[in-house]
Every structure is written in C-alpha cells, then in structure tokens.
Structure 1
C-alpha cells in the first residue's frame, strides 16, 4: 500500500470515527432532552398541554414520543432505549451525583390522563389539579383520580357526612365558604359521592371533574338576575348548579372507558334520585365553556331512515353500529337512558 493510499485510509477512519461520535452524541443529547421533557411534563400541566409542539424540537432521530411518554411503545428501538439506554443514563447520573428533583408532587400523568377541560390558571396539588377562575374568584373545575381503594370520609349520626366531600374539595370549590356551596350538605351529593366510590371499587379507576355552573334566574316580571354573596368583604357569584363528569375505566381486558355527567342544583331543597340528575356531556360543556375528552364520546349520524353510531370514537373499538329508526306513536314520548 502506497503512502497516499495509507493516508487516505487513515483519513477515512478519522472521518468515520468523527461521524460516529457525532451521531452518538446527537443520540445521547436527544435522549437526555426527551427524558428531561418527560420529567417536566409529569410536573407542569402547561408543558403537558403544549407537548406536541415541543416534540419536533427533539426529533433528530425518529421516535414516537407519545407512546414512550405513556410507556406503551412496542417498537424494538424504543424497547432498546428503555432496557439499555435508560439504565445507562441512570447509572451515569448516579455516578456523577447529578442533581435531581426529589419533590413528592403527584405524577400529573395520573391526573390528566384524559386531558384538561381548560388551561386557565392551573394549580397542581397532591391529590388533585384545579383551574381557578379569576373573574369569579372561584375554581372552574377540579380533577381527581379515584382507585379501587378509595374510601369516603366517615359518616355522622345522620348517616352521611355534613359536608359530603373531603375537606380539601369543599374548601377549593367554595373558597372556604359553605354558605355558597349549599348542595354539598344535601343527601343527593352524598349519593353522588357514594356512586363514585362504588364505581371506583367496581371498575378500579374513576376520574372525576367537578365544578360550578352559573345560570341566571328568571323572575315573574321577566327579569333575569344572578345571585351574589359577600365573603371576606368580596362579592362572589353563587353557582346555580354544580356538575360532575365521571370517566370510568376498567382494568379488565375487553372493557372500555365510558363517561357520565351529572348536574345538581345548588339549593337546600334539592333531592330526588341520582338518576334524575343525569346530564349529557355536551350540555355541561355548553353551560361551562369547558371541553371534555371527545375520544370517549360516540359520534351519532342520522340518515333518512336510520341512525349510525361511529364507535371508532371509543378507544379500542373500530366497528360501527347501525340500527333502523323506529317511528313512535304520536301519544308516546321518547325516553332517554
């Protein structure tokens, strides 16, 4: 081999080594950035909400960020990252004694699995996440996750708790004033809390969104008014109703998540059966301006003589259900279930 050929071969090896080092460095930098982003997503709801805009910035090498975030990736490359690369990162971090955040806040992915109804003024607590409405000086919604071991607070001599909610929830939803949240002392709200507890024990996991609804009252003279109450010298609007949206998910294979909605009047006189207060999700959205998970809500399309339910909107289902429309007699009413 001539001198020139030896040098050319040597320079080729240098170039290959440099290129390999560059690729490895870029890969390491990407993985470190992704791990840091996932860490921040689990702590900051705003980063979680805008995560899809951040993913392209970290895509030097192809990877499915969303499936990796939820630990549901099945590709060989991501399995290699999980089983080989991640332990190496953890070992190097421990060896170099890199600073890590040891905060014990709740993993947000456990609370906001099904999304955020809104993103205004979010506050993360240990057991829930809440959106504060600065215009009314009260929360817009509070999100909680109940598991099968969920136990309601102890009952009093009357058979149910005076507050019918955990203290933190009452304080958050009422800003510390039980004069505003009259419904929380009623048995119907206690029935709703028991229902959530029953579903959590039956299916293993229930997500709930709870918040106020403000609708004006119409008087006999045709005028509409909103009720206010003074709390700490600050006038606060009194909610006309409270809503609760349930997302029930089962850990049993073959059973898919489903949604339920309830609207209960904020009054000392409210009562009746819990089923009487069932409400459609889009009705709650119309009253509150919030947006709940659309993936779990079926799409119904009406044709001339039939209706079709597109169940592809339900996670894990891809078939369609089509049924003929039934013409009811004129003296019959349509009943909703």
Structure 2
C-alpha cells in the first residue's frame, strides 16, 4: 500500500513539474517573440508592459504602485524586470552572482539605462542607432545627416541651470563612432546659403553642460535656411519648450524630409541640394512630432505633427499653418510612429510662444 501511494505521489509530482517547466518555457518563447516583433512595430513597443504583465507567471501583477499610499519605487528598474521571463531573470541572477563571486563588482551596466525613458514610444526606424546622454538618433550615412532624433524633455531641465558656464563651441564636434568619410565637417557649410541647424536644440539642456555640448555633434546638425532657423523654426522650438514647461514631460521626434515635386501629371521627382565636398544632403522640409502622455489609463497619447519647408517663409506666419497629419509624415519620411490622438482632432488652441527668443 505504501509503495502505491509513493508511486502515485511521484507521478503527481512529475506531472506538476512538467506542467510548470512547460509553462516557463512557453513564457520564455513568448517573451522572445514579443521582443523580436517590438523592434519593428512601434505599437507593440508602446504596449509592451501590458503584454508582459498579461504573460507574467501565474498571472501575478504588481499592484503596489497603484495604491495611493504606497511607498515610491524605482519604476524604471521595475519595468525592465517585467520585460524578462523567469528563465531570463534566473539566468541574469546567476550571472550577476557569479560576476560578484569572482570579485569584479557589480554586473549591471547603467550606461544605457536612459534609453527606455527616451524611447518610450518606440523607434521610428532602426538604421544605425546612436545613443547620447540626452537624445537618440538614427544616422543616414548616404546623406550625412540623421534620419530622426528623439528626445525626452522635462520642465526641470529647462528651469535649472548648470553651475558650469555654458559656452557654445567654436565649431561643431565630430562623432568618432561615425567614419569620417560618412560625416560632414565645418568646411561643408562655408560659402553656402545654408547654416548648421540643430535637430535637438541645445537650449533644451541648459541644466547639464555635457548634454548641451552633445547637441553640437555633427550627427545632430543639418543644413537649414538661415532665415528659417532664426524665425519660424526658432518659434517652433520655443513652442516645444513651452509645452514641456506646461505639461512637465513631452517626447519630441525631429528629422528631415525629402519631398517629391510633380514634373508632369503622373510623374514626380525628388530634387534637393547637396553642399560641400562631403555632399551633405539639404532636406526640402523638416518635421517635428510632439507626444504628450495622457492622464487616463489605456488611452492613446496626444500627438502634434509639424512640417516646415527648408526655405524662407514669412516670420509672422502662424504655426498652425505647418500642422500636418502624422501619417503623411510617415509616408514621406519612411518612418513609423506610434498611434495617438492627433491635434487636429483635439481642437487645442495654439498660443504664441512666450519664451524669449534665443539666438543660436
């Protein structure tokens, strides 16, 4: 009789163990599949935390942060932890323990922890990604400019000032991670009608001298019409900063567009200037997309898209004149942004930027 109970218990234990192992393996495979898909699908990337929570082992969710009187936690590290299956967490835990056991200190690399914060709404494209302290960009080697730049602006950084004096460098800074043959240099901007413009503005980062100087690196520089830079484009940048001060946190995507022109009824052609010996491409237009978090759970973020021609335009022209459909920006820029509630549907007023214009 005892032998029978022992055999039954062992069989039940083996069955439960096989079930748990199968569940863990299935969770691990599902996590890997989601991670491979979210690299190319910005919507999946945006919803990744909800998906990971639904796949958490035995449906366990962290409800502590939803309590109004809960103790504040490190939500960034918590979201990173949720993006790993239990098998991956165990493998990482074992690796960290082994790393510390041999006396080499902490295994965790915090150098790129800020990427998840900047790229909350996904990567519009994945061509040659470069990560900086204050922004992330995708670089176009053929045109010697960026495909897009993404930055996360907070009101704190706009109101604080670094104790060190912020001095504009005498020349733009080369990025050693990009081969010189695929990069612009200062000579390319001499004797042309175009000047160097910033996709990520240095005036967004007066709180940190390192962040400020990084905006002067060549991957962040594009040829822009001088009068456009000093008037309409500057007003648009000021409007972005005003939004950041008003809402506390916004996400901004900025980049070039090479818009086609109609030649005949059915024929179109893309024509644009190149400058300098490095043949730096001059965009025909620029886009800027502003994303603001919603305060409602499971709601899409608020979005505004602007397209400005790279030419002289009336400096008094209303910024509403440049409001564009984000799907059109995707079409002409060859990028994919997350879904959101666009401004033209929100009927929000556009106020003239109140910040003092800053010379660049």
In the superposition, the TM-score normalised over structure 2's length comes to 0.56
Give 1 or 2: higher strand fraction. 1
Deviation at 1:105, TM superposition (A): 0.8
Cα distance in 2 for partners of 1:228, 1:199 equals: 34
Answer yes or no: is the 8 Å Cα contact 1:188–1:271 preserved in 2: yes
Answer yes or no: is the 8 Å Cα contact 2:258–2:283 preserved in 1: yes
Deviation at 1:198, TM superposition (A): 1.3
Higher deviation after alignment, 71-80 or 282-291:
71-80
Alignment of 1:126-205 (within 5 A): 126-151=133-158, 165-166=201-202, 167-173=213-219, 175=221, 182=226, 185-205=229-249
**1:9 alignment partner, one of 5, 11, 20:** 5
Change (3 A) 1:8 1:27: same
Answer yes or no: is the 8 Å Cα contact 1:203–1:250 preserved in 2: no
| Structure with greater contact order relative to length (CA < 8 Å, sep ≥ 6) | 2
Is 1:20 matched up with 2:16? yes
Alignment of 1:1-337 (within 5 A): 1=1, 6-26=2-22, 48-49=38-39, 66-67=49-50, 69=52, 77-79=59-61, 100-151=107-158, 165-166=201-202, 167-173=213-219, 175=221, 182=226, 185-215=229-259, 225-230=271-276, 233-251=277-295, 257-267=301-311, 271-273=315-317, 274-297=319-342
Deviation at 1:212, TM superposition (A): 1.0
Deviations 1:308-329 (A, max 9, x none): x8x9xxxxxxxxxxxxxxxxxx
Runs ≥4 residues deviating over 6 A: 30-35, 71-76, 80-83, 90-94, 152-156, 216-219, 252-256
Answer yes or no: is the 8 Å Cα contact 2:228–2:312 preserved in 1: no
Deviations 1:281-337 (A, max 9, x none): 233234322232234349x9xxxxxxxx8x9xxxxxxxxxxxxxxxxxxxxxxxxxx
Higher deviation after alignment, 134-143 or 245-254:
245-254
Q: Which residue of 1 aligns with 2:180?
A: none
Higher deviation after alignment, 195-204 or 115-124:
115-124
In the superposition, the TM-score normalised over structure 1's length comes to 0.59
Deviation at 1:225, TM superposition (A): 4.7
| Partner-residue secondary structure (3-state), 2:235 | helix
Structure 2 gap segments, 5+ residues each: 64-77, 101-105, 169-195, 203-212, 264-268, 347-360
Give aligned pairs, total: 269
Structure 1 gap segments, 5+ residues each: 55-63, 157-161, 301-308, 312-337
Cα distance in 2 for partners of 1:265, 1:50 equals: 29
